[in-house]
Amino acid sequence: MSIDAPASAQSQAPGAAVPAGAVAPGKSLNLLMVAFHFPPIAGSSGYLRTLKFAKYLPASGVQPTLLTVKPQVYAAYDKNAKPPLPETTHVERAFALDSRRAFAIKGKSLSLFSLPDRYWTWVPFAVAAGRRLIRERNIDAIFSTYPIASAHLIGLLLHRLTGKPWIADFRDPMWDEFTGAKGLSLSLRQRIEKAVLRRCTTAMVCTDAMYDLFCRRYPDQKHKLMNIPNGFDDEDFQGLDIPASRAAGPVRLLHTGLLEPVDRDPVPFFKAVKALCERRPGPAPVVVDLIAPSDEEYYNKVIAEMGLQGVINILSWRPYKKSLEAMAATDILLLFQGPSCFSQVPAKLYEYMRVGRPIMAITPAAGETGKLVLGTGSGRVVVHDDPEAIGKMLEEWVDSVQNGASLPKAGPEAVLRFSRSRHAQLLAASLHQAITRKPHPGESP
C-alpha cells in the first residue's frame, strides 16, 4: 500500500506528481511558516514536520522564516535546545499565554477561555509580527499547520491582509466524531476548517484517509488538496548505534511519546503483560519502558495496582537523539493507536520503521496506522481492546526473540519513500505552483 497521494489525487493534488529528486523550478522563494509546535518544546513530536520542511526547503530554492511562540507557553521545554537549522534561518517568537493556566481560578478555567484553543492569545501578536516579517523579509507565501487551530487563524488573517498565497497544513482533522468537541466548540472548529479550505491556496494533509475525508467534506475545494505524509530524516539516524544482536535477559519493549485513555490506551496491553508474567513464574520475561507518556501519576497507579512495578517502567522525557538510541536498543517497538485516530499515522511510526526494529501495533488493522504497518511489512497488528489477543501475540513474539527467530521489520526499500528531504521537494514544487496558478472557477479571492 502506498501512502503517497492516491490515484484520484495524482492529477489534482498540487505538486503530488513531482518525482523524487526533482527541484522545483523558477526563482527562489521566501516562505513564512506559522507553527505553534517548534523547538525547544519537549514531550511532543508535533514540531518535526515543520522543522524538517524548514531544514530541507532551501535545497529546493525556498528560504523559510519561522513564526512560533515564546517557549514559556509550553507545558515543558528544553532550555538548552536549539532548532537544528542554519544560522541564517530566522525564528520569530510571538507572545502567548496558555489560557487554562493564565485564566484559571482555584485551578479551574472556563472552557469558553479555550476557544478555539487554549493558546488563542498569540493570534494578535503573531499577526502583527507576521505582517512585519512579510514586509521586511519579502515573503512570497505563507504556510500554517494544525494543530493548533489558532495557527490557521493567523495564516488566514495574514493571507487576507497581504494577499500572499497560503498553504494550510492539516496534521489532523479539526473535527470528527472522536474529537469530543460539541456545542460552541464543535461549531467553531467546523467554521474555521471550512473557512480555511475556502480561502487557502492549497490544503495539505498527511494520510490517504484525511485526503478522502476532505474530498467528501469539501468537493468544491478538491482541486486544492495534496497529500504529503510524515516521514523520517535520514541524517538523524547517522551514527546511531544499532546493536547487531540482543543482550541477554528479559525481552525489552519500548514505547515513546503520549499515551492516554481515549486515543492510545495501554491498559489492555498492561493486562496482557500481567497475564504473561502469571503464566511464567520467576523473573519477568519482559521489561516494558514507556518514555514520556504524560499523566505519569495515573499510569504509575495503574501499574502498581496490577503489581507490575519493575516490569513496566515510566521513563522521563529525553532529547530526540536519545529517544532514537533507545528505539535502536530495544527488541520490540510498541505502537498504540485507537479507532479515534483511524485516519491518522503517528510520526513515531516512520522513525520506528527507519530504526528497523519489529513493531507491535496495537491498533485497528483497517486504520491508516494498521494499513501502513502491514503494507510495509514493518510489524504486525493486533486489535487494540482485547487483552487476550494482545497477550497471544505478545507471548509468540517473546518466544521468537528468545529463540532467535526473525520477526517482521521494514527493509530500506519499504521506507525510502518516506524521506523528509523528498517531501520538502514536493512542498517546494507546490509553493511554486501556488504562486503562479490562476484562481479556480468559483474560488474565493
Give residue 5's pLDDT: 30
CB-based contacts of 182, cutoff 8 Å, min separation 6: none
pLDDT bin (cut points 50, 70, 90) of residue 1 is very low
Per-residue pLDDT tens over the stretch 319-337: 888 999 999 999 999 999 9
Per-residue pLDDT tens over the stretch 14-56: 333 344 344 445 578 999 999 999 999 987 778 999 999 999 9
Examine the domain organization and report whether 78 and 177 are in the same domain: yes
In a domain, 361, yes or no: yes
7 pLDDT exceeds 70? no
Burial class from Cβ neighbours inside 10 Å (0-12, 13-18, 19+) for residue 69 reads: buried
Residue 284 backbone dihedrals phi, psi, to 5 degrees: -60, 135
Residue 79 backbone dihedrals phi, psi, to 5 degrees: -60, -25
| Phi and psi based region of residue 381 (left: phi greater than 0; alpha: psi -120 to 50; beta: remaining) | beta
Examine the domain organization and report whether 163 and 283 are in the same domain: no
Examine the domain organization and report whether 241 and 227 are in the same domain: no
CATH of the domain at 62: 3.40.50.2000
Cell numbers for 282, please give them: 520467576
Alpha helices per DSSP H over 99-207: 99-102, 122-136, 149-162, 183-199
Q: What percent of the chain has pLDDT over 70?
A: 88
In a domain, 442, yes or no: no
In a domain, 252, yes or no: yes
In a domain, 192, yes or no: yes
Examine the domain organization and report whether 253 and 207 are in the same domain: no
Give residue 178's pLDDT: 59
CB of 185 within 8 A of CB of 111? yes
Examine the domain organization and report whether 212 and 283 are in the same domain: no
Cell numbers for 400, please give them: 521468537
| Residue 145 parent element (H or E) | strand 141-146
Give residue 414's pLDDT: 77
In a domain, 443, yes or no: no
Which residue type does 189 have? R
In a domain, 1, yes or no: no
pTM of the entire structure?
0.81
Q: Scanning the structure block, which residue is given the C-alpha cell 468544491?
A: 220
> In whole angstroms, what is the distance from residue 425 CA to residue 423 CA?
5
Examine the domain organization and report whether 67 and 185 are in the same domain: yes
Per-residue pLDDT tens over the stretch 219-237: 999 999 999 999 999 999 8
Lowest-confidence segment of 31-45, 159-173, 194-208, 390-404 by average pLDDT: 31-45
Give residue 52's pLDDT: 94
CB of 207 within 8 A of CB of 343? yes
Provide mean pLDDT across the span 163-189. 83
Examine the domain organization and report whether 108 and 191 are in the same domain: yes
Examine the domain organization and report whether 290 and 198 are in the same domain: no
Examine the domain organization and report whether 60 and 186 are in the same domain: yes
What are the distances in angstroms from CA 430 to CA 25, 169, 246, 390, 437? 11, 12, 44, 43, 10
In a domain, 444, yes or no: no
Examine the domain organization and report whether 317 and 170 are in the same domain: no
CB of 211 within 8 A of CB of 6? yes
CB of 151 within 8 A of CB of 36? yes
Instruction: Output the DSSP codes for 109-135.
Output: --GGGGSS-TTTTHHHHHHHHHHHHHH
Range of the domain at 300: 236-417
Per-residue pLDDT tens over the stretch 346-364: 889 999 999 999 999 999 9
Give residue 425's pLDDT: 93
Examine the domain organization and report whether 257 and 335 are in the same domain: yes
pLDDT bin (cut points 50, 70, 90) of residue 180 is low
What SS3 class is residue 358? coil
The number of folded domains in the chain is 2
CB of 151 within 8 A of CB of 127? no
315 forms beta bridges with 291
In a domain, 45, yes or no: yes
Identify the sign of the CA torsion 195, 201, 206, 211: positive
Examine the domain organization and report whether 276 and 222 are in the same domain: no
Q: What's the mean pLDDT when you consider all of the chain?
A: 87
Give residue 288's pLDDT: 98
Q: What percent of the chain has pLDDT over 90?
A: 64
